[in-house]
Amino acid sequence: MTSRKALEHIRVRRDFLAAASADKQVRRGFVLQARNRGDAQPARIGLTATKKIGNAVIRNRTKRRLRALACDLFPRHAKTGYDYVLIGRVHTKDRKWDDLQSDLTSALQAIHAETA
């Protein structure tokens, strides 16, 4: 079993709102919002799934998939000093895993290209 470093999580509403007013990338599987905090702290992740996508079972499944996706790709692609919010969409629960991974990789590259 491989040990992964636990991701830092966004827990305060104002941090979610700050990320919402920053850069965003829309993909079929999710929406990625990213905000550069301007510090040297580790990247943080926030997950959201609204009632628009389904009942509690579907929302929880969506968040589990997004959490696993972030654990897989954020150690390689996320930058320190950033807050990232992943918002689940209707297609998140049905999208193939490889497609979700390529969506997140391209979204992160696009976000960081905008700020460069």
Range of the domain at 44: 8-115
Residue 86 within a domain: yes
Residue 105 within a domain: yes
Mean predicted confidence (pLDDT) in 67-75? 94
Residue 108 half-sphere exposure, CB side, CA atoms within 13 Å? Answer: 23
Strands (E), the chain: 8-9, 23-26, 30-36, 44-48, 82-88
Q: What CATH number has the domain bearing residue 107?
A: 3.30.230.10
Residue 94 within a domain: yes
Q: For tokens 């979610």, what's the residue?
A: 16
pLDDT at 83 over 50: yes
Q: Which of 24, 6, 4 is nearest to 83 (CA)?
A: 24
pLDDT at 82 over 60: yes
Q: Confirm if 38 and 47 have CB atoms less than 8 A apart.
A: no
**pTM, rounded to two decimals:** 0.90
Q: What is the pLDDT of residues 39-62, one digit of tens each?
A: 999 999 999 999 999 999 999 999
Number of separate domains in the chain? 1
Residue 57 within a domain: yes
Residue 107 within a domain: yes
Residue 1 within a domain: no
Q: For the chain, how many residues are written?
A: 116
Mean predicted confidence (pLDDT) in 11-39? 95
Residue 2 within a domain: no
